Structure 1
Amino acid sequence: MKHSLLCSAIALSLFGCGGSSSDSENTPSQPQNTAPSLSGVANNTVKALQSTTVTLEMSDNESDALTFTIEDKPQWVTVDLSENTAALTLAPGFFDIGSHELALNVSDGELSQAYSLTVEVDDNPEQWRDDISLSRAELRGAWSNSANDFNIVFNGYDAGALIIDDTMKQFDYELNNSATAVNLAVDPALCGPYCEREQQTATLRAVAESDSQLRIHVEGLEQNYTFNMAKRSAPSVEKAYSTDELVLGSSFLGQLEINTESNLEAKFYLPNQYYKSAGIVGTYDGEILDVNEVIINGPLSYYSDKADVIFSQHFYKKTSGGIKEITLGRNVNYVEPLFIDDNFIVYDIVHSGEVLSSLDGHSVDDFDGLAPLLTDYASLSAQYRLNQVAPPALSFGDKYIGRLVGEHIINDTVFLKAVEVIFDTATELTIPFTVPHAEEPYELPITYEIGPNQLTLNYQESEVEVAFFQNHKGDTLIASDMSQGPKWVTPFIAIQEQQPLSVQSFAGVYEHITDAYYKSDVFYSVFHSDGTLGYRLLADGPLDEVELSEETTHFWGVHDSRVVFIEYDSCSQATNFAECLSLVKRADADNLFTYVQSLTPLSTGAESTIFNYSSYYGGWTNSESDSVSNTAVNSLRQLKKH
């Protein structure tokens, strides 16, 4: 009996013994060779940090020398060879958890037989460690599990993004006192690191570690998660579009594209000031973009030549008492992409602060809370990635949700943000602008051309490019005025035929899904059947906590297939909706101040309805030209009826 060891495999050689005869006349015919066999192969289960032994028996009808191999043998499998057996010791660790197929082979040198041994490595929470310390430097970056359906991103300060399947949420984080756990405060939706909505608390800790991986356990979310996580390499940057979580009104369309001399369209969240977009010019070294110039689209001040973002705040003087207003600036230093895939983009914007106003002889430390606003800080920006697509097939004569133009002026009225479009033919379309109290919408006819990547509108003596996108959910979105760079995106949806409105059918309690107040959970509007409305009732909790008997603020009624609601102040002499609407129309005709709003149902889903929300301000006086101007604004809102 001999053993032989083959390269890159464990081998067992079995030698049989036999005799031979010199009488050639009586030599029997040679029997046909048969393949050897292996017994004892079965499915096996073992826990991490435990071991078990699998015993395999080899045999051959002709007693030939046999060779046993395991292809690509894992390190946690060892083989003990003895006689005609191979004892496999399975001793996996936490980073071997999962299903493994061991490819076995037994051969007599001429014929071989393949076998498969399934080994299931299970978790072993009893052996989890609770003493693994973490640091911000170690955590910084993006971590993913093997299925890539659980990703977590940390910046080097106190923010991160959690990406589970096709959803993304931002969080603030801190290490516990022993640095063995990470406390997460998870936002309910993407609303920036300075969002003040109630956060969900969770705890992340490492229960096993290797040179390049962490096994983490997260408690406190909708369910508990335990995964082996590997740190992702720095993301490659290519041209990509992105947006925050889509709201129906409109969402900012960002552009991410970096090379040695290029721009990056970013979304900024900085202390005390929010900017929709900024164009960044700088130098990219493969990891970060050093910022040389920032062009901000948003509110600017006379300090803008000294700092990128300006804001003022009151501070208490610790030494002499009293309150002083101090003007501060935030300078954007560099941008670092942290995570990029087909659905999401996450990056840091690192900025520092400076004082732009006089401190009247005081130092920074003399004011409570001033010093932290001057330090370097990284604002995490988490966005959904959009993929540009060809224009979809259009049904001519049907109406769609989607913003194609931003502003149109006729006579003394400015029409803003139309959110409906009718494609009349392959070359002509109509954009309706809803005016709440008018009998019919104002309609703007436009000619257009369908190209391979966009629609080109002939609008106001110029061409406007309209592009289409899809998000990670497969929704189709539309962006107007792409010729001027990325602007805004809105949904692009075929409008469904709605049931006729009546006071009886519409009266009820509505949750404002896409029109929540910045610092609250949700608003409700209560349309009473008597034609009065308790508008924008703030609720910090569930619906049964809303005070439905709260004093009403508006008259409301159905007018020309839409719900019109008017504040009492606009028709103080009226006692019902019909009188109020009549007074508003008369005031508008006389160029007196008019404010009226409406909701037109466009598309109803399983739980909510998308409305065209229209507001009209009439009788505004332009002091420069002493003229009267009116403004009609359209946008999209989503409400859920309870």
Structure 2
Amino acid sequence: MKQKLLILAGCLALSACGGSSNNDLSSITSSNNTSSNGGTNTPQVPVNTAPTLSGIFTIDAKAKSQYDLVLNAQDKESDPLSISIENQPDWLSYTLENNQVKLSVSPDFLDIETHTYPISVSDGKASTSYELTVNVLDNPQAWAPIDISAAELTGAWEDKQQHLALAFNQQEQGILIENGELSRLEYQNDALDKLWVYEHGCISDCNLKRFTGLQLIAKTSDKLYITLTNKHNENQAYMLHKSSSVLNEKKYAHNLYPDITLYPNRTLELTSLPTDEQRLTTLHIRSHLPKRAISGHSIHKHYTLHYLKGVYDKASGEFTPSKAVIPYSFPFFSNSSEFDELHFTLSYDKIRIVGKIQNHLIIQSDYSYQLGTQSEYINFDPNKYQNLSEFLRPKSDLMAYPLIELTEVTTPLEVGKKYTGKMAPPQLNWALGEYKYIGAIEFSIIDDSTGTVLIETAGKSVKELRTFTYSQNGVELSVSFDDNSYKYAQYSMPSGETFLVAQLTDETSGKTYDNIGYQHYEVDKTITSADYLGTYRHMTNVYAGNMSISPNKATYSYQGPYEEEHGDVFKIQADGSYSFLSRSACHSIGAYDFDTCNTSLTEGNLLISAKNMKLLKRENNIYTFKYSHSFLYNEQVYVHELIYVLNKLD
């Protein structure tokens, strides 16, 4: 609402307090005016002066209280004046009488913040503008909690300062993010004045972190003013805004292992919510594990995670996975505390993106497990398994995982250089002799349209050079291996790290989606075998132990105490990298050097985890390696390549 009041101002001396003015010149022409000596007089042109306001233009006002402020209006020509306030809220009013502007403010709790409004005074020909500031302050003495149900709070909420975020569903579940710390909430009977705070990924035998209580002071459909009991048992007030389920079409990376130091991140798992009908959304969704089962995910320790592709509906926020039923197996304990491997199918009934708060994606899912066909080797009786009926009940889950916004970048490939970035996606199903090969993490650029990938076993006994053609058009990189063509994009993290991501096609729907990204940088060609010497600790694989390399002894710690004392059987390869075999395994077949042992184990189909570590990059004491692993599994030999990041200790 705007008011305009006109007054006839008396003749007052001009008193301006700053601001900007807009003057109109009014001219009055007198015809046939002559002077006493017969000459013609020059017409008089009065100049209009813009009106002014004076006084204090700042009000400090507590919520649920009324405050007044008076400004003085002045105009040299005593013209009728009017006042206008841009974006004037309902709780701000004014009157204009006897050259005085009386401002009255009566804000509520939802108005708590600093507001700035342009205020102007005009005489119809010129105007002057000023800035009116209203600081709306809290008023704890006027707090009067109002009732609210969890249904009214359903959704995701956060404050602008990123200190607090909350999410609720209608199944007595919630999420709390307080100064970056992620927790799970429980409450009972729709009452939010007592909230149980647990670890986010814990659902059984959980340690209670603390109690907290929520009180609602004021609300609209998209804004809340609440108090929450903090760790010091004090009521802290927050202004929360509702997060929309409609996210932008940017790409995000997420880290499901925040307790493991990733420097730099070895791979990039993308989350995107495209609205393009030809593209699929990729999301991680979780489901609960049987009681007494624990996963390796620190923030989802009682859950297993599924990487799903599907369609995202922007209007509703719903995600429909391409694969609706997922087969899964768990070791399930019987009443006698023994366990069998039981087979299940997992069905997601509904998945909905609730919103993004404090850089966490909030996902609501409804799902259930069904018993699958069990192995003929177990005497299956559902009554003999602990908690099986509870495990099979339909479940609802409210999940949060951290997101990092990505930027699409272009890094031209240069002839003669070697780069990292997985150039051969799994869809190629490459074979290296008898080996199934998963890797191609390194590639070389030969000329402006051709590159090569060297694939080899960890012992370097079998190798092939594969050729590809490529072209770069802006941010898009097109690559072809024989008749198989793929497109790649490059994305940058806020840290500056760049990742190469394949744009793959879903076999069922024919739509494209973003695959996992791999680090993309130029390989350091100056590295020699001497640069490997030292003791290292893994930073991206907490289970791998240490690696130690000296001129006469090298140990890669997947082995036992015998190797710790004597070292592995190793070989320095032509490219400077180190290959390792278990000393005890080699000695058990009478082989005492690497080549003899590697040949004997391979020919005897007794291959026991040959490994190779090739140094790709050094940054201070952070060393990045390509890890190759040749191994036998279910009568099939494999070669698998990964990126490992190690901290050099000496």
Shared fold, TM over 0.5: yes
Q: What amino acid is aligned across from residue 527 of structure 1 in structure 2? A: S
Distance 1:430 1:96 in 2: 63
Q: What amino acid is aligned across from residue 5 of structure 2 in structure 1? A: A
Distance 1:129 1:245 in 2: 40
Q: What amino acid is aligned across from residue 626 of structure 2 in structure 1? A: N
Distance 1:79 1:549 in 2: 88
Q: How does 1:292-307 map to 2 (within 5 A)?
A: 295=323
Q: 2:631 aligns with which of 609, 617, 620?
A: 617
SS across alignment from 1:95? helix
The 3 A distance-change label for structure 1 pair 315 and 579 is closer
SS across alignment from 1:179? strand
Q: 2:517 aligns with which of 477, 489, 499?
A: 489
Q: How does 1:459-538 map to 2 (within 5 A)?
A: 459=481, 461-470=482-491, 473=494, 475-480=497-502, 482-483=504-505, 485-486=512-513, 487-497=515-525, 499-502=527-530, 506-510=533-537, 512-516=538-542, 524-525=545-546, 527=548, 531=553, 533=555, 535=557
Q: 2:240 aligns with which of 229, 233, 236?
A: 229
Q: CA deviation at 1:70?
A: 2.9
Q: 2:220 aligns with which of 211, 220, 230?
A: 211
State TM-score, norm by structure 2.
0.70
Question: Do structure 1's residue 426 and structure 2's residue 448 form an aligned pair?
Answer: yes
On the 8 A contact 1:142/1:153 being kept in 2, the answer is: yes
Distance 1:149 1:551 in 2: 48
SS across alignment from 1:210? strand
Output one character per residue of 1:389-415: Cα deviation in whole Å (capped at 9) or x when no partner: 586411111111100114532333443
Q: CA deviation at 1:31?
A: 6.7
Q: How does 1:525-564 map to 2 (within 5 A)?
A: 525=546, 527=548, 531=553, 533=555, 535=557, 555=568, 559-560=572-573, 561-564=576-579
Distance 1:171 1:344 in 2: 12
SS across alignment from 1:438? coil
On the 8 A contact 2:501/2:517 being kept in 1, the answer is: yes
The 3 A distance-change label for structure 1 pair 136 and 391 is same
On the 8 A contact 1:599/1:612 being kept in 2, the answer is: yes
The 3 A distance-change label for structure 1 pair 259 and 465 is closer
Q: What amino acid is aligned across from residue 346 of structure 2 in structure 1? A: R
On the 8 A contact 1:159/1:379 being kept in 2, the answer is: yes
Q: CA deviation at 1:554?
A: 5.1
Question: Do structure 1's residue 138 and structure 2's residue 152 form an aligned pair?
Answer: yes
Q: What amino acid is aligned across from residue 646 of structure 2 in structure 1? A: L
The 3 A distance-change label for structure 1 pair 243 and 276 is farther
Q: What amino acid is aligned across from residue 99 of structure 1 in structure 2? A: T
Q: 1:448 aligns with which of 456, 470, 476?
A: 470
Distance 2:570 2:318 in 1: 55
Q: What amino acid is aligned across from residue 109 of structure 2 in structure 1? A: F
Q: CA deviation at 1:582?
A: 5.4
Match of 2:108 in 1: 93
Q: How does 1:70-109 map to 2 (within 5 A)?
A: 70-79=85-94, 83-109=98-124
CA-based RMSD: 5.2
On the 8 A contact 1:437/1:596 being kept in 2, the answer is: yes
Match of 1:4 in 2: none
On the 8 A contact 2:536/2:648 being kept in 1, the answer is: yes
On the 8 A contact 1:394/1:423 being kept in 2, the answer is: yes
Output one character per residue of 1:430-484: Cα deviation in whole Å (capped at 9) or x when no partner: 113354443997532223344566444442x422303114266365432347245
Q: CA deviation at 1:636?
A: 0.8
Distance 1:417 1:14 in 2: 85
The 3 A distance-change label for structure 1 pair 103 and 549 is farther
Q: How does 1:280-291 map to 2 (within 5 A)?
A: 286-287=315-316
Question: Do structure 1's residue 175 and structure 2's residue 190 form an aligned pair?
Answer: no
Distance 1:8 1:526 in 2: 74
On the 8 A contact 1:242/1:385 being kept in 2, the answer is: yes
Q: CA deviation at 1:368?
A: 3.6
Distance 1:607 1:198 in 2: 38
On the 8 A contact 1:587/1:594 being kept in 2, the answer is: no
Q: 1:332 aligns with which of 319, 343, 348?
A: 348
The 3 A distance-change label for structure 1 pair 590 and 109 is closer
The 3 A distance-change label for structure 1 pair 235 and 427 is same
On the 8 A contact 2:156/2:362 being kept in 1, the answer is: no
SS across alignment from 2:101? strand
Q: CA deviation at 1:635?
A: 0.8
SS across alignment from 1:214? strand
Match of 1:404 in 2: 423
Distance 1:336 1:161 in 2: 18
On the 8 A contact 1:428/1:448 being kept in 2, the answer is: yes
SS across alignment from 2:585? helix
Q: What amino acid is aligned across from residue 90 of structure 2 in structure 1? A: Q
After the TM superposition, which of the residue ranges 97-106 and 550-559 deviates more from structure 2? 550-559
Q: 2:71 aligns with which of 35, 56, 60?
A: 56
Q: What amino acid is aligned across from residue 507 of structure 1 in structure 2? A: G
The share of aligned pairs that are identical, in percent, is 18
Distance 1:129 1:179 in 2: 17
Match of 1:634 in 2: 641
Q: What amino acid is aligned across from residue 609 of structure 1 in structure 2? A: Y
On the 8 A contact 1:174/1:184 being kept in 2, the answer is: yes
Output one character per residue of 1:255-307: Cα deviation in whole Å (capped at 9) or x when no partner: 6567999976554422337464445589x79426596x8537xxxxxxxxxx6
SS across alignment from 2:192? coil
SS across alignment from 2:557? strand
SS across alignment from 2:246? coil
SS across alignment from 1:494? coil
Q: CA deviation at 1:429?
A: 0.7
Match of 1:22 in 2: none
Q: How does 1:179-190 map to 2 (within 5 A)?
A: 179-180=192-193, 182=195, 185=198
Q: How does 1:96-175 map to 2 (within 5 A)?
A: 96-123=111-138, 126-127=140-141, 129=143, 131=145, 135-145=149-159, 153-157=167-171, 158=173, 160=175, 171-175=183-187
The 3 A distance-change label for structure 1 pair 256 and 36 is closer
Distance 2:204 2:459 in 1: 36
On the 8 A contact 2:317/2:354 being kept in 1, the answer is: no
Match of 2:615 in 1: 601
Match of 1:545 in 2: none
Q: CA deviation at 1:634?
A: 1.1
Q: CA deviation at 1:101?
A: 2.0
Question: Do structure 1's residue 8 and structure 2's residue 2 form an aligned pair?
Answer: yes
On the 8 A contact 2:553/2:566 being kept in 1, the answer is: no
Output one character per residue of 1:49-69: Cα deviation in whole Å (capped at 9) or x when no partner: 555443312233344444344
Distance 2:132 2:144 in 1: 34
On the 8 A contact 1:501/1:558 being kept in 2, the answer is: no
Q: CA deviation at 1:143?
A: 2.8
Structure 1: state its 5+ residue gaps. 1-6, 19-24, 297-306, 518-522, 538-547, 623-628
On the 8 A contact 2:563/2:583 being kept in 1, the answer is: no
Distance 2:577 2:9 in 1: 92
Output one character per residue of 1:13-37: Cα deviation in whole Å (capped at 9) or x when no partner: 244399xxxxxx9xxx997543332
Distance 1:396 1:197 in 2: 56
Match of 1:374 in 2: 393
The 3 A distance-change label for structure 1 pair 110 and 549 is farther
The 3 A distance-change label for structure 1 pair 639 and 44 is farther
Q: How does 1:229-268 map to 2 (within 5 A)?
A: 229-235=240-246, 244-245=254-255, 248=265, 250-251=267-268, 256=273, 266-268=283-285
The 3 A distance-change label for structure 1 pair 481 and 499 is same
